[in-house]
Amino acid sequence: MKTSKLLCAALAAVMTTSMAGGMTASAELAAADENSSLVSLGDETGSEKNYDEADWEYYKREYWETWEHDPDEEYDGNVGLDITNDGLIYSINPVDGYVRVADYIGKGEELVIPKEIEGYPVEGLLDIGYWDLEGYGFHKLRNVKTVIFEADIKRIGNSFTNCPELEKVVLPTGLEELADFKENSCYAFSDCPKLKEVVIPDTLKLVQNACFRNTPWLEAKEKEEKLVIIGDSLVSGRQAEGKVVIPSSVKYITGEAFHDNDKMTELVVPASVKNSGGAFWNTTGLKKITFKNGSKGFYEYLSRDNLPNLEKVIIPPTFTKENTACALGFDKYNGDWKDYINLNCTYYYYKGTKADKVINDKTVKGYTKLKKSVLPGKTKSITVSAKKNAAKVTWKSVSTATGYQIQVSPDKTFKKNVTAKYVKDKAKVTYTFKKLKSGKKYYVRMRTYKTLSGKKYYGNYTKARAVKVK
């Protein structure tokens, strides 16, 4: 607290100001000489504090430690933060006239974010946190069961994650975004194992990345709706089946939206969708993606590891490299699209596109088919023989490949305990995995890869071969 603020309090004798939510702030009359200690307005004399002073001192010290300091600078307890009697930590910006709340160390089970503190409107949240100061505010709240926002906050970032007792959240009535543009990802209210009720305002449009992940609330929504949509955002489609058509009202596909979905076989993306972020992880059933005419681009990374059965991607003539990053194997920083194919599947372009002239290939069913000459062929004639504590893999060489990737695992799905080996010489046709457990059954598969412009592009995996090690 600044000295000038204390002096004003001293001149006014004892002043008490009523705050929203029942919180009060007062300054006790104090001597104004140089030796007088500063008194925080959050430390109200005569009022019961619903937090431990030791926690507050620890918080301030840990927060101070995150700063850059001169070697001779010593901690004096003044870190630019204050605290209400309820344990709500905040920071005032008197120049611009607003407050941001940082964290909560109180003992109450209900946390109310008030409209005002010390006469200033609560404008937002600070990205710092008590129980994990290198993380985000309101992280791992230990006692809180209910969070109610009375403040007019437009955006909430990476806050309220991993709260073990949190059961209910009432979001701000004017909330527009659950997003963190600094990191381009958001995990607000994720990994809260008891969160069952969320009151969402109609104003919320953008939900970024993995908000509400691993919560009973989202799991219940997924059972009720095959596509969980909040505002302009498709939050989850993990339970969707067969052919899925995303409504034209959707502008964003949230990260993890289709994670671990093995029942969706076809996806139609409307022109309204601007981007997605990591939506396709282990989406094993998907075979076809169609981008509707009018789409200008799509920001997403579609890899063979996460989409092992993808066969066809249909792209409209409105797609441009400038609006497509890390998507469908095209890199906007490279002039040759075909050099950046990272999926061994067939790409189709609508007739009459600029890409047709580049590709110069035959027309198939009204579309122009992209040549697959840049992709390596599939490994053939793979055999696996058992050795003592080892397994020997043999195959026929593939002339179009740069090398081979071979995987061995005791798990036939190759989801855990996988050992991978790259064979960089395409002429080599054998490799032996050693130090395997005797008498244990292992599975082996392999695929070719081709290196173009410093990047690897993979062929399809072979069928897994089983072998019982001697």
User: Distance between CA atoms of 381 and 396, rounded to whole angstroms?
Assistant: 6
Look up the CATH superfamily of 380-468.
Immunoglobulins (2.60.40.10)
Over residues 101-130, mean pLDDT: 88
Quick one: pLDDT at residue 182? 58
Cite the residue boundaries of each domain of the chain with CATH code 2.60.40.10: 380-468
User: Distance between CA atoms of 4 and 25, rounded to whole angstroms?
Assistant: 16
Pairwise pLDDT comparison (39 vs 456), residue with the higher score:
456
Over residues 339-346, mean pLDDT: 33
Cite the residue boundaries of each domain of the chain with CATH code 3.80.10: 246-373
- Class of domain 246-373 as given by CATH: alpha beta
Pairwise pLDDT comparison (400 vs 138), residue with the higher score:
138
Tell me if residue 363 falls in helix, strand or coil.
strand
Residue 340's pLDDT band (boundaries 50, 70, 90)?
very low
> Cβ neighbours of residue 211 under 8 Å, at least 6 residues apart?
178, 186, 187, 188, 189, 190, 235, 254
Burial class (CB in 10 A: 0-12, 13-18, 19+), 127: middle
- Residues 118 and 99: beta-carbon distance below 8 Å: yes
CA distances from 283 to 52, 111, 160, 219 (A): 48, 38, 28, 18
Give the angle subtended at the CA of 430 by the CAs of 426 and 433, to the nearest 5°: 120
Tell me if residue 407 falls in helix, strand or coil.
strand
Asked if pLDDT for residue 183 goes beyond 70, the answer is no
Q: What is the mean pLDDT of the chain?
A: 76
User: Distance between CA atoms of 286 and 343, rounded to whole angstroms?
Assistant: 13
Quick one: pLDDT at residue 301? 62
Residue 320's pLDDT band (boundaries 50, 70, 90)?
low
365: left (phi over 0), alpha (psi -120 to 50) or beta: left
**pTM score, whole prediction:** 0.61
Over residues 54-65, mean pLDDT: 87
Quick one: pLDDT at residue 440? 93
Residue 369 identity (one-letter amino acid): K
Over residues 332-352, mean pLDDT: 34
Burial class (CB in 10 A: 0-12, 13-18, 19+), 200: middle
Asked if pLDDT for residue 355 goes beyond 60, the answer is no
pLDDT 10s digits, 421-451: 999 988 899 999 999 999 999 999 999 887 7
Quick one: pLDDT at residue 310? 75
User: Distance between CA atoms of 248 and 83, rounded to whole angstroms?
Assistant: 46
